[in-house]
Structure 1
Amino acid sequence: MVSTKSVSAASAAAQAANEAASALDTETRNEEIVSSLRGFLKHQTERVALYKEFNDAFKEYMSKRMTQEEYATICRIVTEGFVELSVEILALEAYLAGTNNNSTDTVSASSSASWSSATSSSSEPAPPRTRSLINSPEHAQLIREVQLLEKQKLALTVQGQKWSMEKVAQEVQDQKDQEAEQHLDRVIDMEQEESPASSEPSTQPQLKLSVAEWQSKMDENRDSLNQIVEDINEKLADIQEAIAVLVL
């Protein structure tokens, strides 16, 4: 017959084991959150590099040191890079949020490596993860906020490049118009010498924006872009802070 003392001891041991398992689960969960957030920061660094390549190519193209075909190739490569990063980041966000779907539950390489080291000491690839294990919407929201800002940043970057090209085109057109006007003035002067009473030709209304107006729009675009970058940096600081809290 089992004594009451033995039953109590067994119950206490079971409770201690459950508490230990619970603590281990929490620790593992925190490690996965940290790994996912660090994975996102790594992708963010890669995104910054893509922006640099994009902007550098545009400068080269505008300075006539890159052909239109070469510039188009860079744009295609950068676009593909942005798409790949977006897929990886969405996977991290879904994993943190505990989103269930029918897609493959693999995430970024950096996060997968952390998962592998936490579950096995072998060099074999880690098995797919179940996203519902994490269920940390507050950390997923941190990534979502950066993503929304990055969407605005990309739109402003493309818009700024378009407006820059419009400004340059207008400068070229203004130069042509100025040369044409100078030629026309010489013709008018010659005609007035022969017939002083002749009327001057009517001028056509200017429909396009002036160079100054394009510059003003570009300045507004730059200010908006700088503000977006500042907001992104603040959100990234929040993510760094969240990581610091979890690793304490």
Structure 2
Amino acid sequence: MHIKRVFDVVVVSLAAIAWLPAVMAGALLILLSSGRPVFYRSNRLVDSGEPTKVVKFRTMVKNADKLVNRDTVPVTSTRFLNIAPNSPLYTKAGRLLERCGLTEIPQLFHVLSGKMSIVGNRPLPTNVMNALLDEYAYAGDRFLTPAGLTGPAQLVGRDALSDSERLRVEGAYCHAVLDGYRLRLDFTILLSTVLIVAHLKESMTYSEVMAMIERNSRSRSVASLEDRYAPATDNTEVA
């Protein structure tokens, strides 16, 4: 984990010349188009401990969190709470930031502080995590390592994974980090994320991501990791 932390600090520091202006430009865009607040702050789980305050750009109308959350949206096909990209809750500035993959970039400050990592599974509200645990006893494995700005699930896309597939990918990543971390695992995920957001690379499939995790780690085989979890046989879910 020490090498992973060094990777985070070095990458964030070297990339500051690009991401700091991006944060300022994004904040100005939101301020001019829809006013304050520029940032959206909420309590999220970023590890196996207590929730912590996490910040990102506000991409939706000001009362969106009151209208759409796990308490107001019933648990049906998915336990993850994902807002459709075409939802009217998004502001024009928010849609642009989402399309450019900049929504989470303010969280780089959390990476510098050590609260999060560049690569890891996304933070979650406690009630969403509880909904996942009700269905999948192994859901907590996704927080065996700190949450990140991007992770293996983002290489496939949240709308292309079932809940069980997403949790299996996220759990496999965490175990790969803990069982024998290789720097190239995070580097590969980060580079792939950038290429996919820039439309220079196609999104990957579930099987391709699982194979990539195995190929870039010292972990046991992916097949062995998958044995930890119930079979991903439910194809009706959309994560």
TM over 0.5: no
TM-score, normalised relative to structure 1: 0.22
TM-score, normalised relative to structure 2: 0.23
Question: Which has more helix, going by share of residues?
Answer: 1
